[in-house]
Structure 1
Amino acid sequence: MAPRITDALKTVFIFIILSSVFTCSAGDSENDRDFEFCGKWRNGGKALKLTYNLSPGCAPILISANESSLSIEGQITAQCNKSGVISLDQSGPPTGTHFCLFWEPLLDQLQLQVGGETHKLCEPAGLQQSCCTNLSPSSNEPETSYGIINGSIKGDVLTSKSLAAYGFFGESINCKEQFCDKAIKGPTQVNMIEEAVMRSETVGSVELPCALSSVVVMKEDFQGSDIVLTASPGLPPESIPSIHLPPSLRPPTKTSVKVVCTIFKNSSFFQEGGMSIVDNVVGISVENEIIRDLSEPIRIGFHHRAIHRTFSRKCVSWDTRKDPLKVNWLDDGCLTKQKGEKETECHCNHLTYFTVLVEMEPRPVRHLLALTAITSLGCAVSVISCLALIIFLCRKRKCKEQSIPIHLGLAMSLLFLNLLFFLTGTLANLGEEALCRWVGAGLHYALLSSFTWMALEVFQTFRLVYLVFTPPLKPYIWGLIGFGFPALPVVTLAMVGDIYGVREVAPSDDVSNPYQMCWMKNNHKALLAHYFTNVTVLAILVFSGLVMLFLVYRQIRRRDEWKQNQVAFLSIWGLSCLFGTTWGLTFLNFGPLSDIILFLSCILNSFQGFFLVLRFYMLGWMRKQTGGSTLGTSSTGSTRQHMLQPQEKS
C-alpha cells in the first residue's frame, strides 16, 4: 500500500513541476511585440550571399547558414510573399560575421542586419489583424564546421555551438488586440501605439481595439488641417474629439514629415489621484521631432458628459520630462475654453498627450479663512439670538396666535443648525469617525428642518391671505411636518452608509492644509444625496416661496392698509429675505461675481438667527409707533391684522 501512495505523490509532484515550467514558459513568451534572433555566421571567407523565401502563413521558419550562404525561409508573414538572392559586398572574417533578424508581426516587417548593413526583406504593410508571433525554438540542426554560433533570442544565448540551422515555430493570434493589451499596461508603454502607427507606412485612419489614429503627411504647402476620425464601436460619434493642426506645426527644415493623432479608447491608466479624465485622451506626435512653443496653438475640442459648474475642469498635457513611471498632468502651455457643460476646447502650444481633467473634489475655496471667521461669528450670534427668540415666543404662546408654533419651530431648527455648524470644525478634528458621522447626519437634519420650517412660514402667510376662513391647524401637526419630515431622508441616507463623515474643504492658497468639518463625504454617493435632498428641497423652497409671496403681494397691494401701514410691507419683505431666497444665492455662485455672492451668502445665512430676532423687534417697535396693538407681533399676525381685518369684518 505504501509504494502506491509514494508513486501517487511522485506523480502529483512531477505534474506540479511541469505545470510550473509550462506556466513560466508561457509567461516569458507572452505575445512579444517583436522577435529578435542574433548570432555569428561562421563562413568560408569567400563571396557571401543572402537567400530568402517567405510566404504568408504561420508555419515553422528556418534560419540556416553554410560557408557562403545565409538563408531565411518559411511561412511567417501576413501579406509578404517574396523570395530572392542578395549578394553581400564583403567577405566574412575568420571569427564570423555578426547578424540579427528582426521580425515585427504587427507591422508585417522582417529585416536582416548583416555586418552593419540592413536589408528589408518585408516592408511594413500596415497594422495586421492576424499575425504570427510567439516564436519558439523547434528543432536545431547538428553541429557543423560552418554555420551559426552563439545563437540568441533577445540576448539570451541558446547555445554556443556552431549549428547548421535554427528552426522556430509560432502561433497565429489577433495581433491588434494582443498588442493593445501589452501597450496599455502602463504609461511607459503607451507610446508603443503611436510608434507602431508612425512606422506602419499607413496614411489616413488606422484603427486598433484600444485606439483610433490618423496619419497626416505635412508637405511644403501644408496650410493646416482639420483631423476627421471615423467613429468605431469603441468610440461613439458624439464623443470623438475634433483636432485642428496649425500650419506652424510643420518643421521648416523638412519638406515632408508625418504627424500622428491618436485617440485612446481606454484611458484608465492615465488616471491621476483626485482627478478624473472626462472622456478621451488625445496623443499628437510628429515624426522624429519634439515640438514646443508653437506660434499658433493646436486646437482640440473634447465632447464629454455634462460637467456641473461646482467641479472645475482644465486642459492638461502629460509631462514626459519627469518620472516616466508616473502620470504627471500639467496645465502649462494649454488654455482652457469652456463651451457649455458638454464641450471643452483646448489650445496647446506643444505636442504630447492631452485631455480634460475634472476635479472630483469641489474646487478650492478662495478666502476660506475669512469665510470661516464670518461663519463662526454669525453662528455664535445666531445661537444667542435664537435662544432669546425662543424664550420670547414661549412667553407669547398664551396669546394663542396660530403662527407662533411655526415661528418657534423655525427658531429651534435654526438654533440646532447654527450650533452644530459652529462646532463641526472642532468635532471633525477630534479624529472620531463615528462621532463625525452622527454630527454630519445631525447637521443635515437641521438644515432640512430649517428649510421645511421656512416653507411653512411662507405657506402660513399665503394661507392667512387666501384661506381666511379655514380652521387653524393643531400645533402638533406643524411639529410633525417641520421636525418629522426631514428625518425620513436623513435616516434613509444613514442606512445606505458611506454618506456622512469628515469633509475636507481645501483653501485655494494652501490646498495641502484643508479645513475639516463633519458633513457629507467627498464621494459619488454623497454627491447624489446632496443633489437629491439639499439642492432639490432648496429649489422647491425658493421657487414656491417666491410664487406664494407674489400671490400675497398681488392680493393686498390694492388695499388701503398696504398704503397706510408700513408694518405690512416690512412683514412681506422680511419673509422674502429670510425664508429661502438667501439660500438661493448658492445658485448664483459662478462667474466674475462668485466671490461677492459667496461672501453675501455666508453673511446672510450665518446671521439668519440674528436677522430673525431683529425682524421681530422691528415689527413690535413699528406697531407701537403706529399705536397698534402688540398682539401678533409676528409677521403672519401682523399681516392678518393689518390686511385682512376689513375682509373679516365684512
Structure 2
Amino acid sequence: MEQNPNTARILIITCLLLILGQAATDNDRDFKMCGIWRHGTASRTLKSELNTGCEKIEISANESTLFVRGSITAKCTQSTSFDLESNSLQNQSHFCVFWEPLLDLLIVDVNRKNYTLCKSHGLQENCCTDLSLDKQDTAALYGIVNGSTHGDIIKNDVMKMYNFKGDVISCKEKFCDEVRKIPRGANMIEEVVMKSNTTGRLDLPCAQSTIIEMEEGFTGLNFTLPATKAMPPYMIPSVYLPPCLKSFSRTKPKVVCTYYKNKKLFQGASNSTILDDIVGLSVENEIIKNLPEPVRIKFHHSALPANYTRRCVSWDTRRDNEEKWRYDGCDTVKIDNTETECHCNHLTYFAILVQVEHKTTVRHLKALTFITAVGCAVSLVSCLVLFYWLCKRRRGKKNQTSLVHRGLVVAIFLLCLLFILTGALANIGKEVVCKITGSLLHYALLSTLCWMAMEVFHTFLLIRKVFDTTLPTWIFYLVGFGLPVLLVSILLLTEHIYEVDIYGERKIVPSDDVGNPYRMCWMLENKESLLAHYIINVGLLAVVVSSGAVMLFLVVREIRNRPDWKKVHVAFLSIWGLTCLFGTTWGLGFLDFGPMSEAILFLFCIINSLQGFFLMLRYYALERMKKKDRSFSDGSSSGSSKQQMLQTHEKS
C-alpha cells in the first residue's frame, strides 16, 4: 500500500513534537504552548509585539506568519520580526512558545531553532504567570493544528488563534516555595541565576547569589558572599576562587556563588547536624574536578562544644542520580573554635558546608587503655613462653592438638603486638602507614577468632571419638590463617575499586578530656566500615561464641554417663572452662549496655587482653594433670589426663 507523503511528514513532525516536548519538560518552563503550524510554501515570518503588564498573550498563525503578541512581560517592550527558513516541499512546521516569568524570558522554537523574543535582564520581583486558556478562533485552511500546553492537547482542529491570560504574583516568593518542595531545589536556583544574563548580586528569599565573569587573565579572586542584612558582617562566609578555575576553552565563563540560609533544600540522609551556612558553587555549562589549586570557603560559626567535630562535605546531585552528602574531594582546615575553612578540588551543582558530628565519648578511657596495654604485654610474654614449650614438647612428631595450640598462640601474639603498636603508629600521621596497620590488626583479630573456632572444633572431635580419623593439617592452617587473609583482601579490594575508606586513623574520645583523643589504626566509622564490621567481625564472633556454648553442652551430655565421669568431671570442667574462655569472653561485648555497661567494659578489657596468659595457664593445667595421671599408671606410657578422660588412647 502506497503511503501519502504528507502523512509521512506528519508522522515525522509528530515524533519531533514528542521529543521536543520531552526536552522542554526537562527544562521546567513555567509556560509551554506547542503545536503544528500549517502554512503555505512561500516565505514565512515570525513576528512579535510585546508590552509590559499582565493582560493576555495571543499566539496566532496564518499562511505566512506566526504571530506572538500581548502584554505579559515585566520590563520587555519589543517588536521583532524573524525571517524563517523556507522549504517548498513542506507546508507545516512544529513550534513551541516558552515563557519564563521569573527571568522575563520569552523564546519561540520553530523546527528546533530558537528565537529569543524577550531577553532576560535579571530576576523579577513581580511577574505575569499562571497562564490559562482564554478564547480561541478557528481557521479554514491555515493555522495551528494539535495545539497543546505542557503536553496536553487543547484542540486537534486547525485554529487561527489561541489566547491566554494570567495573574500578577510575586515571582521570587513562588519560585522559592516550589524549589523547597523538590529534591534538586538548589540546582534549580543556580540554573535560574545562571540564565539571568546578568553579573553581580541577585537576591531571592531562599538564597543570595553573586555572578562573576572570569575574563581573560583571571588571576583568582577573594570575596565575601552576599547575605541578608540581618547577618553581622563578621559571620558571612568568604570564598577564594583560584586562577585554574577558568577554562581556556571559554572566553568569559561565569561562576555562580550562592549563599543558602535554608537547610531544607539539602535534606540528605545524615544523622549529623548541618550548620546553617551553606555555599553553592558552579561554573557555567562546565563540570570542574581535580583542580590543582583548591577552592577555599571560610565559614564563621558559633563556638562548638568540645565533643563535636567539624568536617567539610559536598552535596552532589549530578553523580549516580542521587542526593547525598559526600566526603571526597574536600579537606577540612580548623582555623579556631569559631572558624572553619573548606579546601575543595572539584565543583559541580553542589553545596559546600561544614558538617558537625557529635563524637561519642568513653568514660575511664585512660584506665581502660592502661589495663589493656598491661594485659597485652603479659600476654606477649606468656605467648613466647608457651610457644617455646609447645615446640619443645613436639619432639619431632606431628600432633594436631599441639598444632592447634601453636596456631592460636601465634594469632594472639600478633593481635597483642599490633594493638600495642597501633597507638604509636597512628601518631606518626602517615595515612598509608595507618591503613596498613589497621588492616594487619584486623587480620590478627580475625585469625584469633578463627583459631578459637578450631580449638572448639578439635576438642569436639576428641570428645566424639573421631580423633582417629585425623583431618589434614592444611585444613587448620587454611581456616586459621587463610580465611582472614581472604576477608581482609576483599575489603582492601573494595577500597580500591569503589574508592571508599575502610581502614585508617580512628579517634576514641575520653569523656574527661575530649580535646586529647586516643588515636589508633583500625576500621573507620563510615557506612562501609560499619557494614564490614557487623558482617565480618560481629558475625564471626557470634559463630565462635555460640559454637563454644553449644559444644560445651554436647560434651557434657556425651560424657555424663561414662564410668569415670564422677572421678574426673572437675578436671574436665576446669580444662574445658579455660578452653571456652577464649571464645565466650568476647561475647561480653554483646552485653555492653545498661547500668552494668562500665563494669562489663572493664571485665572485657581485662580478660581478653590476658588471653595469652590464660592460654599458658591452660597448658600448665594439662601438664600437671598428665603428671598426676602417670603416678597412677603401671609405669607404661599413657596418654594425657585429658585424653584418658575422653577415653582416647593416642599417645601425645
User: Could you state the TM-score of these two structures normalised by the residue count of structure 2?
Assistant: 0.52
Aligned counterpart for 2:317 among listed residues 315, 320, 328 = 320
Asked if 1:263 is matched to 2:259, the reply is yes
> Unaligned 5+ residue runs, structure 1?
1-28, 379-507, 511-584, 596-601, 608-650
* 1:369 to partner: Cα distance: 13
Q: Cα distance 1:374–1:196, how it changes in 2: closer, same or farther (>3 A)?
A: same
Unaligned runs of 5+ in 2: 1-24, 376-438, 443-509, 521-597, 604-652
After TM superposition, the structure 1 = structure 2 runs for residues 46-65 of structure 1, keeping only pairs within 5 Å, are: 46-65=42-61
Aligned counterparts of 1:262 and 1:92: Cα–Cα separation in 2:
50
Q: In 2, distance between residues paired with 1:592 and 1:251?
A: 43
Alignment-derived partner of residue 179 in structure 2:
183
Residue 309 of structure 1 corresponds to which residue in structure 2?
306
Q: Which residue of 1 aligns with 2:120?
A: 124
In 2, Cα distance between equivalents of 1:273 and 1:230: 27
1:279 corresponding residue in structure 2: 276
Q: Structure 1 residues 187 and 240, CA, compared in 2 at 3 Å: closer, same or farther? A: farther
Aligned AA for 1:144? A
Matched position secondary structure for 1:195? helix
CA drift of 1:169 comes to 0.5
Partner residue in 1 for 2:105: 109
Contact (CA 8 Å) 2:35, 2:148: kept in 1 or not? yes
Deviation string, structure 1 residues 134-181 (Cα, Å, up to 9, x no partner): 111111112432110001112111111101100001111110111111
> CA-to-partner distance for each residue in 1:334-393, whole Å, 9 max, x for gaps?
11111222211111101131100011x424769989949959x99xxxxxxxxxxxxxxx
Kindly indicate whether the alpha-carbon contact (under 8 Å) linking 2:296 and 2:344 is maintained by their aligned counterparts in 1. Answer: yes
Mapped to 2, the partners of 1:364 and 1:97 lie a distance apart of 70
- C-alpha separation in 2, matches of 1:251 and 1:94: 43
Match of 2:152, as an amino acid? D
- What does residue 146 of structure 2 align with? 150
Identify which of 353, 356, 375 aligns with 2:354: 356
Deviations 1:453-487 (A, max 9, x none): xxxxxxxxxxxxxxxxxxxxxxxxxxxxxxxxxxx
Alignment of 1:577-592 (within 5 A): 586-591=511-516
Other structure's SS at 1:194 match: helix
Is contact 2:306–2:514 with CA below 8 Å preserved after alignment?
Answer: no
Among 75, 79, 103, the residue aligned to 1:79: 75
1:89 positional shift: 3.1
Q: Distance in 2 between matches of 1:179 and 1:230?
A: 19
Counterparts of residues 174-253 of structure 1 (less than 5 Å): 174-233=170-229, 235-253=231-249
Indicate if the aligned counterparts of 1:205 and 1:229 stay in contact, CA closer than 8 A. no
Deviation at 1:267, TM superposition (A): 1.4
SS of the residue 1:355 aligns to: strand
The answer as to whether partners of 1:197 and 1:213 remain within 8 angstroms in 2 is yes
Q: Is the CA contact 2:363–2:511 (under 8 Å) kept in the aligned structure 1?
A: no
Amino acid at match of 1:588: D
Residue 304 of structure 1: CA displacement? 1.5
User: Which residue of 2 is the match for residue 615 of structure 1?
Assistant: none
Counterpart mapping for 1:180-579 below 5 A: 180-233=176-229, 235-271=231-267, 272-322=269-319, 324-326=321-323, 328-351=324-347, 352-359=350-357, 361-363=358-360, 371=368
Change over 3 Å in CA distance of 1:33–1:47 after alignment to 2: closer
Q: Conserved in 2, the CA contact under 8 Å of 1:34 and 1:104?
A: yes
- The verdict on how the C-alpha distance between 1:64 and 1:209 changes in structure 2, with shifts beyond 3 A counting, is same
Which one-letter code corresponds to 2:106 in the other structure? L
Q: Which runs of 4+ in 1 moved over 6 A?
A: 364-370, 592-595
Measured at CA, do residues 115 and 234 of structure 1 come closer, stay the same or move farther in structure 2, by a change above 3 Å? farther
The alpha carbon displacement at 1:52 in A equals 1.1
The AA in structure 2 aligned to 1:590 is G
- Decide whether aligned partners of structure 1 residues 70 and 266 sit closer, same or farther in structure 2, where only a CA change above 3 A counts: same
Indicate if the aligned counterparts of 1:37 and 1:151 stay in contact, CA closer than 8 A. Answer: yes
Could you say which residue in structure 1 is the equivalent of 2:38? 42
Secondary structure of residue in 1 paired with 2:336: coil
| Letter of the structure 2 residue corresponding to residue 117 of structure 1 | K
Amino acid at match of 2:274: I
Q: Is the 8 A contact 1:231 1:240 kept in 2?
A: yes
- Normalized against structure 1, the TM-score is what? 0.52
Provide the rounded CA distance (Å) in 1 between the counterparts of 2:258 and 2:316: 17
My pick for the range that moved more, 83-92 or 328-337, is: 83-92
Aligned counterpart, 1:390: none
Q: Secondary structure at the match of 1:165?
A: strand
Confirm or deny: 8 A CA contact 1:242 1:301 kept in the other structure: yes
Contact kept, 8 Å, 1:302 with 1:344, in 2: the verdict is: yes
Q: 1-side partners of 2:167 and 2:371: how far apart?
A: 72
Distance 1:54 1:241, change over 3 A: same
For residue 263 of structure 1, what is the amino acid of its counterpart? Y
Kindly provide the CA deviation profile for residues 276-321 of structure 1, in whole angstroms up to 9, marking residues without a partner as x: 1112111101111110111110110011122112011101112335
% identical equivalent positions: 46
Amino acid at match of 2:355: L
Partners of 2:29 and 2:217 in 1: CA distance: 36
Answer yes or no: is the 8 Å Cα contact 1:50–1:87 preserved in 2: yes
Range that drifts further, 183-192 or 106-115: 183-192
Deviations 1:198-225 (Å, cap 9, x if unpaired)?
1111111111110011111112210001
